[in-house]
Chains A and B, each alone.
Chain A
Amino acid sequence: MNDLVDVSLQVNGVRYDVAIRPWRTLLEVLRETLGMTGTKRSCGEGQCGTCSVLIDGEVVNACLYLAIEAQGKEIETIEGRPEGEPVLQQIQRSFAEKGAVQCGFCTPGMVIATKALLGDNPQPSEDEIREALVGHLCRCTGYVQIVEAIQDAASRLARERLR
C-alpha cells in the first residue's frame, strides 16, 4: 500500500509518528494504530459520545474527526498523561465513588466531557452540567449519579484550588 501518509500526533503530551491512510479517523488511529483502547467505539456517527476526546481542550467525537486534521493540535484522551493528571484523576474518583459508573462503556467519554466542562466552568449549575452531557448517552444510570459525580468533582476541585 503506497497510500500511507506520515502523520505526527501529540497525544497526552507524547508525540507519536505514524504512517496511516489519510481517511482514517482519529478514533481508528487511537485504538488500532496506537493501541489506546480507552476511547470506546459505539455508534460511529457522532451521536453517542463514547469516543469523546479533547482537541485543544474542545470535546470532539473522535469517530467523526480525521486523524490528519489533528496534527499540530493537543489531543487528550481518557488515558491521560503518563505522569498523571490530578484533575482527570479527581473526576475519575468522583465517578467511581458516586455510582456514576455501571457498565462503564460511556464512562471514558463522560469523564472527558466533564474535564472540558470543568475547565471552562469550574462551578457549573445542574442545568449547565446536563447541557454539557447532551451528545453523551448513558443507558445504565439515568444520568442522576453522573450529574452527582460531576457536582462532587467540581466541589472537590474547588476546595483543592482554595488550599
Chain B
Amino acid sequence: MSAEIRHEFQVIGKPTPKKDAPLKAAGRAEFADDINMAGMLHGKLLRSPHPHARILSIDASRAAALPGVRAVITGKDFPGVRYGNLPRTRDYLPLAIDTVRYIGEEVAAVAAIDEDTAEEALDLVQVEYEVLPAVFDPEEAMKPGAPQLHAPAPGNISAHTESEFGNVEAAFAEAAYIREDMFETHAVKQGMLEPHACVGVWDSFGKATLWSCKMSPYTVWRQLAMGLDMKPGDIRVVQTYVGGGFSGGKQEAMPMDFCALMLSKKTGRPVKFVHTMEEVLTIGHLRHPMKIWLRTGTTKDGRIVAQHCKLLANGGAYSSIGGFSIFLAGAMLNLPYRVPNMRFESNRVYTNNGFCGALRGHTVVQMCFARDSQLELIAADLGIDPLEIRHRNAIQEGDVTANGFRIGTFAFDECIKRVAEMSGWHEKRGKLPKYRGIGFGCGAHLSGARLMGHSASAAEIRMLEDGTVHLTTGSTDVGQGVETVMSMIAAEVLGIEVDDVTYLKVDSAATPLDPGTFGSRVTLFTGNAVKQAAEEVCRQLAEIAGERMGVDPQDLIFRRREIVNHKDEKQRVSLKEIVRWGMFQQGKVISGRGTYGASEEKIDFRTGQGNLSPAYNPTACAVEVEVDPETGRVTMVGLWGADDSGTPLNPLAVKGQVIGAAVMSIGHALWENLIRIDGKVMNPSLRDYKMPQATDLPKLANFEHSNVITWEPEGPFGAKEAGQGAGTGVVAAIANAIHDATGVRLTRLPFTPESILAGIEELKEKEAVTES
C-alpha cells in the first residue's frame, strides 16, 4: 500500500506493448472465422427483401433437396421466446416467425457443406410475403394511422424518458439570454474489420457451445438461453479474439449465433457463420440518428442557468439497448458543464429500418455535438471568447450535478488550457487565412455505468507452481488492451512481471461472471476486481512465507518475483519457492478472488436521479481544417486533444484508445453515412461507406494528445476510462472549425461538401443582398 501512496510502481504507468501483439502481428491469433472443425458445415442467412411484411408461408423443400445442403431452419424451429437487453424491451427473435420489420431481417438459415452451396440454397427457399405499409421517419411513425411495428408499443414508441432537475421554468424566466437550436445526426456504423462470425456445436449431451467474437460473452450467454428457452447452464459461450468491437452485434446474441446452434442440433455437426460486409452494413446495430432540440438559458456573462432538451431518436425495427441509449443521452447532458436546471424529454421510435443501439461513445457523441455547437453560438452572441465560456461553465471536482452525479477528479479546466496551448489556439483563432479554421469541442464520459441489472465485476487469479499466474475475468480484450492492463494490475500487486500473467479469454464454463466490455467499465470495474484478487493471493502467500521465514506476514512485501521483509530487506525468498512450498508441502490451492460491486449507489432509471458511474472524465479538443471553396471538401489539418483519464496505467494503450476514438469521430463527422432510402441501405460496402484512410488524417506533427494526470480514488491505481471520452468532443470541434473557416454553421451531420458549398453560396447571396 505504501508504494501506492508514493506512486512508485514497478509496472503501472510504463508504456507496455500489448501482450497479444506479437501473436496478432504474426497472423497467429485465431479469430472466429479461422476456426475449422472436423465435419464443419457453413451457414447462411436468408433475409427479408421487404421493410415490413407478413410471412404467409415458407417452403424450404427445394433448398433442403439441393445436394450438399444438410439442414434448413425457420423461425418455427425456435421456441418463439423473445430476447433482448432490457426486460421491457425484449423484441428480438432468432429468426422472424410471422412478421419482418426491416430489409435484411433474418427469415431462414441453411447449413451446407460449403458457403457456395449454402448461398445457392438460399435462392431456393420460397417465402410468400404479404407486404405491409412501412414507415421510415420517426415523426411519421408517431402520427395516428401510421403502420404499427410492435403491438406492445402504441404509436411506435419504443422507449420514452423524461426527467427534470431543478426548476427549469423559473430559471428560463430569469435568464438574461435564451436560444434554441435544432441539430440532426445520422446513421453510422461501428466499422470493425472483423465481420461477425461464430461456430456452434450442439453436443450429444444436449449442451450448446458457441465460439464467437463477443465483447460481452455473458450477455450473449443469457440471451442465448432466453431465445432458446434453455437453462443458461446448458449453454457455453467461448470468446475468440475479437477483431474490433465498438459495440453492436458483438455485444449481443445475433440470429447467426442462434442458427449456428440450432443447425448444429439438426445436423450433429459444427456449423460456422460469417457475415459478409454487406450483411454487416445492412442489419442495423447503428448509432441512433437523432433530432436534438436544445434550448439554453444563460446569464449575460454566459453562465448556463437552464437547459431544455427534446430528443427524437430513429430506433429502427428493434430495441437493442435503445431504452438505455436515450436515457444516457439525457444523463450526459449533465457533463461536462454545470447546468443547475434541466429538463429532458426523449422518444425512441420504431421505424422499418435497420435497428440502432450502442456504438463507441454511445449517445454521448450526439449530445456533445449539439451542446458544444450551441455553446459556440451563445459565446458569439454574447461576445465571449469560446474558451472562456467553457471555463465559466466547467464542472469542478467535488461538484454534484443536478441529476446527482458526484464528481470526483475532473480536470476539465486543465484539459481546455492544455489544448489551447498545444493547438496554438490563441495564435490561430480568427487569424488563419480564409477557408482555414480552428474549432473547439468538449465532452465527457463515464467509467462504467451502474445499471439495474448486472453491474458488478469479478476476477480470479490462480497461482501456478512456477510462480506465474492465470488471470480470469468476464471482460474481453477487443483490441483496447484489457489483457495487458489487467495483467499489469495483477503483476504490480504480486510483484511479478507482466509476462508472468496469462490472461485467459472468457469462457462461460470457466471464467467468473462479469458483464463484459462496454460503457468504458473495464479498467475501473474489472481492474478493481483484479487488484483485489491479487491482494488476496498476496495475503495467502504472505501467510505461507511468514511461517516459512518466521516473520510476521504483515511485514512482507512483493516485488521482483520475491517476497521481502520490508523491516529487514536481507530476509527475502523467491516467490516461486514459497508457492512450491505451499503447494507441495501444505497442499494449498493458492488462488484469489476479487469483486467490484457498484450496487450500493444505484441510479433511478424512472427519474434519472443518481450517481451513474464511480468516476467521470472530461475531454477537450481543437481541430484545424481547411475547406476547399470550390468543392466544399474538408481537409483535416490538425487535431489536439487532452483528457483526464485519471492515471494512465498503460500510456501506450491509452494513446491508442484516445487517438482511435478521435479518428472514429472524424470519420463519422465528415465521410461516413449509411444512406437508407425507404429502408434500403444504398451503400452496404466499404467502398461507399467511407471510413478514414491514413491519408485523410492530420500528420503526426499536428496530431497530439495529452493526458492530464489525476489520481482517481475510485479507480485501480488512480485510473479512469480512456476509450470513448476522447471521441465525444470531436464532432462539435469540426463543426466549429468549419464555421471558423467558412462562416457556415452546420447543424446536420454528416458535414458533406454539398452542405458546406450550399452554406458558402448562401453566405455569398446574403453578402450580395447587403451590398446592394
Note all chain A residues with C-beta closer than 8 A to B686. 43, 45, 47-48, 137
Give bound CA distance, A101 to B244, whole Å.
11
Note all chain B residues with C-beta closer than 8 A to A101. 18, 20-21, 24-25
Note all chain B residues with C-beta closer than 8 A to A135. 693
Interface residues in B228-247 by Cβ distance below 8 A to A read 241-246
Give bound CA distance, A74 to B277, whole Å.
29
Q: Do B691 and A139 have beta carbons less than 8 Å apart?
A: yes
Residue picked from B21, B36, B685, most chain A C-beta under 10 Å: B21
Among A39, A99, A104, point to the contact of B652 (Cβ < 8 A): A99
Q: How far is the CB of B48 from chain A (nearest CB, A)?
A: 22
Q: Do B24 and A107 have beta carbons less than 8 Å apart?
A: yes
Give bound CA distance, A126 to B703, whole Å.
13
Note all chain A residues with C-beta closer than 8 A to B703. 142, 144
* Known pairs A41-B274, A92-B22, A92-B25; A47 contacts B685 (CB<8 A): yes
Q: Do A106 and B18 have beta carbons less than 8 Å apart?
A: no
Smallest CB gap from B481: residue in A: A102
Does chain A have a CB within 8 A of B687?
Answer: yes
Interface residues in B535-554 by Cβ distance below 8 A to A read none
Give bound CA distance, A129 to B664, whole Å.
20
Does chain A have a CB within 8 A of B26?
Answer: yes
Does chain B have a CB within 8 A of A133?
Answer: yes
Give bound CA distance, A96 to B697, whole Å.
22
Q: Do A105 and B22 have beta carbons less than 8 Å apart?
A: no
Give bound CA distance, A41 to B34, whole Å.
9
Does chain A have a CB within 8 A of B53?
Answer: no
Does chain B have a CB within 8 A of A18?
Answer: no
Does chain B have a CB within 8 A of A44?
Answer: yes
* Known pairs A139-B244, A141-B659; A42 contacts B193 (CB<8 A): yes
Q: Do B244 and A140 have beta carbons less than 8 Å apart?
A: yes
Q: Do A43 and B685 have beta carbons less than 8 Å apart?
A: yes
Give bound CA distance, A135 to B27, whole Å.
19
Q: Do B21 and A104 have beta carbons less than 8 Å apart?
A: yes
Residue picked from A32, A99, A129, A138, most chain B C-beta under 10 Å: A99
Give bound CA distance, A142 to B360, whole Å.
14
Note all chain A residues with C-beta closer than 8 A to B695. 130-131, 133-134
Smallest CB gap from B477: residue in A: A103
Note all chain B residues with C-beta closer than 8 A to A108. 25, 27
Among B274, B693, B700, point to the contact of A133 (Cβ < 8 A): B693
Q: Do A105 and B243 have beta carbons less than 8 Å apart?
A: yes
Does chain B have a CB within 8 A of A86?
Answer: no
Does chain B have a CB within 8 A of A97?
Answer: yes
Note all chain B residues with C-beta closer than 8 A to A78. 26-27
Q: Do B25 and A107 have beta carbons less than 8 Å apart?
A: yes
Does chain B have a CB within 8 A of A58?
Answer: no
Smallest CB gap from A150: residue in B: B694
Q: How far is the CB of A89 from chain B (nearest CB, A)?
A: 9
* Known pairs A47-B685, A96-B18, A99-B17; A140 contacts B26 (CB<8 A): no
**Cβ proximity bits B693-729 to A, threshold 8 Å, 1 near / 0 not:** 1110101100100000000000000000000000000
Q: Do A44 and B694 have beta carbons less than 8 Å apart?
A: no
Q: Do B193 and A105 have beta carbons less than 8 Å apart?
A: yes
Note all chain A residues with C-beta closer than 8 A to B190. 139
Note all chain A residues with C-beta closer than 8 A to B692. 142-143
Q: Do A99 and B687 have beta carbons less than 8 Å apart?
A: no
Does chain A have a CB within 8 A of B276?
Answer: yes
Smallest CB gap from A130: residue in B: B694
Does chain A have a CB within 8 A of B195?
Answer: yes
Give bound CA distance, A50 to B191, whole Å.
13
Q: Do B18 and A102 have beta carbons less than 8 Å apart?
A: yes
Q: How far is the CB of B407 from chain A (nearest CB, A)?
A: 29
Q: Do A92 and B26 have beta carbons less than 8 Å apart?
A: yes
Q: How far is the CB of B671 from chain A (nearest CB, A)?
A: 12
Residue picked from A40, A43, A144, most chain B C-beta under 10 Å: A144
Q: Do B700 and A103 have beta carbons less than 8 Å apart?
A: no
Give bound CA distance, A44 to B278, whole Å.
9
Note all chain B residues with C-beta closer than 8 A to A70. none
Q: Do A102 and B660 have beta carbons less than 8 Å apart?
A: yes
Smallest CB gap from A88: residue in B: B26
Does chain A have a CB within 8 A of B192?
Answer: yes
Smallest CB gap from A129: residue in B: B694
Give bound CA distance, A20 to B330, whole Å.
57
Smallest CB gap from B661: residue in A: A142
Q: Do A105 and B655 have beta carbons less than 8 Å apart?
A: no
Note all chain B residues with C-beta closer than 8 A to A144. 655, 659, 700, 703
Note all chain B residues with C-beta closer than 8 A to A91. 25
Smallest CB gap from A38: residue in B: B27
Q: Do A141 and B242 have beta carbons less than 8 Å apart?
A: no
Does chain A have a CB within 8 A of B30?
Answer: yes
Note all chain B residues with C-beta closer than 8 A to A131. 695
Does chain B have a CB within 8 A of A81?
Answer: no
* Known pairs A35-B36, A92-B22, A137-B691; A102 contacts B193 (CB<8 A): no
Smallest CB gap from B242: residue in A: A103
Note all chain B residues with C-beta closer than 8 A to A103. 24, 192-194, 241-245, 478-479
Q: How far is the CB of B678 from chain A (nearest CB, A)?
A: 25
Q: Do A137 and B693 have beta carbons less than 8 Å apart?
A: yes
**Cβ proximity bits A59-72 to B, threshold 8 Å, 1 near / 0 not:** 00000000000000
Note all chain A residues with C-beta closer than 8 A to B694. 129-130, 133-134, 136, 138, 143, 146-147
Residue picked from A39, A135, A142, most chain B C-beta under 10 Å: A142
**Cβ proximity bits A74-101 to B, threshold 8 Å, 1 near / 0 not:** 0001111000000000011101111111
Note all chain B residues with C-beta closer than 8 A to A123. none
Note all chain A residues with C-beta closer than 8 A to B685. 43, 45, 47
Does chain B have a CB within 8 A of A29?
Answer: no
Note all chain B residues with C-beta closer than 8 A to A126. 699-700
Does chain B have a CB within 8 A of A10?
Answer: no
Note all chain B residues with C-beta closer than 8 A to A143. 663, 692, 694, 697
Note all chain B residues with C-beta closer than 8 A to A32. 36
Residue picked from B33, B190, B195, B660, most chain A C-beta under 10 Å: B660
Give bound CA distance, A140 to B26, whole Å.
18
Does chain A have a CB within 8 A of B480?
Answer: yes
Q: Do B193 and A99 have beta carbons less than 8 Å apart?
A: no
Does chain B have a CB within 8 A of A8?
Answer: no
Does chain B have a CB within 8 A of A111?
Answer: yes
Q: How far is the CB of B485 from chain A (nearest CB, A)?
A: 13
Q: How far is the CB of A59 from chain B (nearest CB, A)?
A: 14
Does chain A have a CB within 8 A of B97?
Answer: no
Note all chain B residues with C-beta closer than 8 A to A147. 694, 700
Q: Do B193 and A137 have beta carbons less than 8 Å apart?
A: yes
Q: Do A44 and B276 have beta carbons less than 8 Å apart?
A: yes
Smallest CB gap from A146: residue in B: B694
Note all chain A residues with C-beta closer than 8 A to B480. 102
Give bound CA distance, A134 to B629, whole Å.
25
New A-B pairs, 11, CB < 8 Å, besides A103-B479, A139-B190: A37-B27, A40-B27, A41-B33, A47-B687, A96-B17, A99-B17, A103-B244, A126-B699, A139-B192, A141-B660, A142-B662
The 15 listed contacts between A and B (C-beta, < 8 Å) are A41-B274, A42-B193, A42-B194, A47-B686, A48-B193, A95-B25, A99-B17, A99-B655, A104-B243, A106-B193, A136-B694, A139-B190, A139-B193, A143-B697, A146-B694
Q: Which residues of B contact A (CB under 8 A)?
A: 15, 17-18, 20-31, 33-34, 36, 190-195, 241-246, 274, 276-277, 478-481, 652-653, 655-656, 659-660, 662-664, 685-687, 691-695, 697, 699-700, 703
The 8 A-B residue pairs with the shortest CB-CB distance in the complex, in nearest-first order? A38-B27, A104-B24, A103-B479, A105-B243, A142-B663, A102-B479, A96-B21, A78-B27
